[in-house]
């Protein structure tokens, strides 16, 4: 989750815009309900992790804007005051298949004290990058450019150029071509994949044909925001209209908290349609009351709905008919995708602790699995003999499962279609390789080491349960192993059992010191000392004995006195 760190002096400054003072107890106790995890709140800093579903809280300024209504019940402000400007921006039709969504906004009169200017610029850039990650999906859906308006000459136009076109990018002092930026500039190499397959790339130019931005990669050098910047131009481009709108509104809201006045521009899109952007009005949502009742278990009065929605930064508009309510929410709430999201906001704003209680209408008592008692008795028996239970991954690979363990592949293998690593290319058919690798990782510990796993294997694309155990010890051998099997049979109440010789080369076991474990004349598993050559392949050089047992087959042959 993204983390933001805000100096408490700044947070107090933002909260004072709403005539409230910081309350550390409220922040620690109540702010997590808003979609955050408060890591630290002391006299110096507020450190907060923001949940992915609340990208509107990714800066100290926007977080404080939401904290006022939620923590202190100040009046919500789901709209932004936006005045029209004379600035125009025209989008060329050639952007349609390159980067079709383009928008912009102006913020004038941002007043940052000199001693806070460095912190402000750092927070502004940090907010941009967090929005690129949370909403822009790595700048693919939306990318943001923030510029010093006083260095520009409107009107602006957005067009496409070929890759030989050149300009001076941010962080450089000499002109570079688009191809050079994408192949040698740090930002160009990071985001070149977003323009793969396009011979023409997007460029934003001002009235003097100077480059503002090469979205979604980098800005032009001459528009760099500095500590003396008071007037800002914001551009956002991408493929997702909602994502672009939210990004530009959130950056504008951040600047507004520093005294900025937001102005719209006259935007002509690639289809020739002209509008004033951005729109500062709230967005209305209609929610069926039946949906609220089904999720929250009760109806709400108009006063309760108004209080809940105010805390969440919105407004209760009214009841549009007998079965639905209408609420107004900020346009920058990117997480509101469905009426059920409004229901969640009602629950959070009202308070989960005050939703009432209801007795279950059906039995809630858990029922044990049919094999739960049998598994418990197996675990108790193994632990009674001094074995430690482990749990390993069901993922494995052909080399560990078959080649190193000398098992023949007689069952269909379930292969991973797109394995991330060569270690995990299939679902395992045996557990012993996992235990061997565990012992290899712990060979620096003292002997004896006794481990077992009661887990799942996949054979012929079907799950089954097996028990495997290994004993790495300096003495004992097959005689000790036979004693363990005898104790295991005693614990499980198995009377009719025997051991038969195992064929040479059948698996990892040493010929002459291994056996088939037979229960009621049915072969249920193999036991024995491991061949030193097998142990060596796992970089183990101590005597090891163990077993591999089919638990599903064993359960079908014996009666569970408890189950």
Per-residue pLDDT tens over the stretch 385-396: 999 999 999 999
Residues 37 and 524: their CA atoms lie apart, in Å, by: 52
Q: Which fold has domain 283-354?
A: Phenylalanyl-tRNA Synthetase; Chain B, domain 1 (3.30.56)
Which residue is listed with tokens 């499962």? 401
Please check the confidence at residue 166 and state whether its pLDDT lies above 70.
Answer: yes
Among the CATH numbers 3.30.930.10, 3.30.1050.10, 3.40.50.10860, 2.160.10.10, which is that of 372-557? 3.30.930.10
Residues 316 and 282: their CA atoms lie apart, in Å, by: 12
pTM of the model: 0.70
Q: Grade residue 91 by pLDDT with cuts at 50, 70 and 90.
A: very high
Please check the confidence at residue 357 and state whether its pLDDT lies above 90.
Answer: no
* 141 Rama sector, left if φ>0, alpha if ψ -120 to 50, beta otherwise: alpha
Q: Report H helices in 371-515.
A: 372-384, 398, 432-441, 477-492
Question: Mean pLDDT, to the nearest integer, of 107-119?
Answer: 93
Give which of 3, 10, 4, 38 is closest to 24, Cα–Cα.
38
- Buried (b) or exposed (e) across 445-454, using 16+ Cβ within 10 A? eeeebbbbbb
Fold match between domain 3-72 and domain 82-277: no
- Integer angstrom CA distances of residue 181 from 49, 129, 134: 34, 20, 25
Mean pLDDT (the chain, rounded): 92
Among the CATH numbers 3.50.40.10, 3.30.565.10, 1.20.120.1780, 3.30.2130.30, which is that of 82-277? 3.50.40.10
Q: If DSSP codes are grouped into helix, strand and coil, which group holds residue 123?
A: helix
How remote is the C-alpha of 176 from its chain's centroid? 37
- What is the structure's pLDDT at 562? 62
Give which of 403, 423, 421, 402 is closest to 411, Cα–Cα.
402
- What is the structure's pLDDT at 204? 97
The set of residues, in sequence order, having a beta carbon less than 8 Å from that of 491 and lying 6+ positions away, is 377, 380, 381, 384
Q: What angle do CA 546, 548, 552 make, to 5 degrees?
A: 145
Residues 66 and 62: their CA atoms lie apart, in Å, by: 6
Give which of 306, 115, 144, 142 is closest to 239, Cα–Cα.
142
Residues 53 and 134: their CA atoms lie apart, in Å, by: 9
Architecture of the domain delimited by 3-72: 2-Layer Sandwich (3.30)
Residue 405 DSSP class:
T
Q: Report H helices in 73-203.
A: 117-134, 178-184, 186-191
SS3 of 302-370: the string is HHHHHHHHHHCCCEEEEEEECCEEEEEECCCCCCCCCHHHHHHHHHHHHCHHHCCCCCCCCCCCCCCCC
Lowest mean pLDDT among 195-199, 270-274, 317-321, 536-540: 317-321
Q: What angle do CA 2, 129, 335 make, to 5 degrees?
A: 60
Domains of the chain by residue range: 3-72, 82-277, 283-354, 372-557
Which residues is 321 bridged to in the sheet? 324
Give which of 78, 80, 94 is closest to 161, Cα–Cα.
94
Please check the confidence at residue 561 and state whether its pLDDT lies above 70.
Answer: no
Give which of 458, 405, 406 is closest to 432, Cα–Cα.
405
Give which of 511, 550, 551, 517 is closest to 534, Cα–Cα.
511
pLDDT tens-digit readout, 462-486 = 999 999 999 999 887 899 999 999 9
Residue 114 DSSP class:
G
């Amino acid at each position: 989750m993204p983390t933001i760190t805000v100096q408490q002096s700044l947070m107090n400054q933002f909260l004072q815009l709403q005539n409230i003072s910081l309350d550390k107890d409220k922040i620690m106790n109540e702010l997590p309900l808003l979609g955050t995890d408060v890591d630290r709140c002391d006299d110096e800093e507020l450190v907060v992790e923001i949940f992915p579903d609340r990208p509107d809280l990714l800066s100290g300024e926007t977080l404080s804007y939401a904290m006022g209504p939620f923590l202190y019940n100040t009046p919500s402000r789901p709209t932004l005051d936006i005045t029209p400007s004379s600035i125009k921006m025209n989008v060329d039709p050639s952007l349609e298949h390159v980067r079709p969504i383009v928008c912009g906004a102006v913020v004038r009169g941002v007043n940052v004290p000199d001693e806070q200017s460095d912190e402000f610029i750092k927070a502004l850039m940090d907010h941009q990058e967090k929005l690129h990650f949370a909403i822009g999906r790595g700048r693919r859906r939306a990318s943001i450019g923030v510029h010093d308006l006083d260095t520009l000459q409107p009107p602006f136009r957005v067009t496409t150029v070929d890759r030989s076109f050149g300009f001076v990018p941010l962080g450089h002092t000499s002109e570079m071509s688009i191809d050079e930026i994408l192949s040698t500039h740090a930002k160009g190499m990071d985001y070149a994949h977003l323009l793969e397959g396009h011979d023409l790339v997007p460029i934003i130019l001002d009235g003097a044909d100077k480059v503002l931005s090469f979205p979604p990669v980098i800005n032009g050098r001459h528009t760099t925001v500095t500590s003396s910047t008071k007037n800002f131009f914001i551009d956002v481009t991408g493929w997702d209209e909602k994502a672009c709108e939210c990004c530009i509104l959130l950056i504008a809201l951040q600047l507004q908290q520093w005294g900025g006045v937001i102005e719209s521009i006259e935007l002509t899109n690639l289809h020739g349609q002209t509008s004033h952007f951005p729109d500062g009005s709230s967005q209305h949502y209609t929610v069926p009351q039946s949906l609220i009742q089904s999720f929250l278990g009760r109806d709400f009065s108009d006063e309760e709905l108004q209080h809940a929605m105010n805390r969440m930064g919105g407004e209760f508009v009214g009841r549009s008919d007998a079965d639905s309510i209408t609420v107004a929410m900020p346009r920058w709430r990117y997480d509101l995708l469905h009426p059920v999201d409004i229901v969640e906001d009602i629950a959070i704003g009202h308070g989960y602790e005050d939703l009432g209680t209801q007795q279950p209408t059906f039995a809630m008592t858990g029922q044990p699995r049919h094999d739960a008692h049998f598994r418990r008795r197996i675990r108790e028996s193994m632990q009674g003999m001094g074995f430690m239970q482990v749990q390993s991954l069901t993922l494995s690979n052909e080399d560990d499962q078959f080649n190193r363990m000398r098992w023949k592949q007689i069952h269909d293998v379930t292969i991973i279609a797109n394995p991330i690593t060569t270690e995990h290319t299939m679902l395992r058919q045996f557990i012993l390789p996992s235990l061997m690798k565990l012992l290899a990782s712990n060979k620096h510990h003292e002997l004896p080491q006794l481990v077992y796993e009661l887990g799942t294997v996949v054979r012929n694309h079907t799950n089954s349960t097996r028990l495997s155990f290994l004993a790495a010890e300096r003495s004992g051998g097959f005689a000790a192993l036979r004693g363990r099997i005898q104790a295991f049979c005693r614990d499980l109440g198995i009377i009719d059992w025997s051991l038969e010789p195992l064929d040479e080369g059948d698996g990892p076991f040493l010929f002459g010191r291994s056996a088939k474990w037979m229960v009621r004349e049915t072969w249920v598993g193999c036991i024995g000392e491991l061949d030193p050559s097998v142990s060596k392949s796992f970089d183990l050089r101590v005597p090891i004995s163990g077993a591999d047992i089919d638990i599903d087959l064993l359960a079908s042959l014996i009666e569970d006195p408890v189950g």
